Amino acid sequence: MDARTAWPAIGLGFGTALGFAGAFGGFGTFVIVLVLGVLGLLVGLAATGDLDLVELFSSFRARKGPS
């Protein structure tokens, strides 16, 4: 299975996990699962080289302006 074809299945699994968290754990658990999932996605993208963290953080700094 190619990495690009795996993303829909990963998204389905993540959506199912969020659904169970929301249904059985409440809103707080839903938010925790969502935040941890996004962090996992960012770490995975950085590990494969698809996300340049230096560029990402420098773009945030450029928008804030000089302090």
Single-letter code of the amino acid located at 22: G
Alpha-carbon distance of 30 to 25, in angstroms, equals 7
Whole-number CA gyration radius for the chain: 16
Sign of CA dihedral 48, 49, 51, 57: positive
- The tens-digit pLDDT sequence of the chain (67 residues) is 566 667 777 877 888 888 888 889 988 888 888 888 888 777 777 777 777 878 877 876 666 656 5
Which of 57, 21, 61, 24 has the alpha carbon at shortest distance from 42? 57
Sign of CA dihedral 26, 32, 36, 37: positive
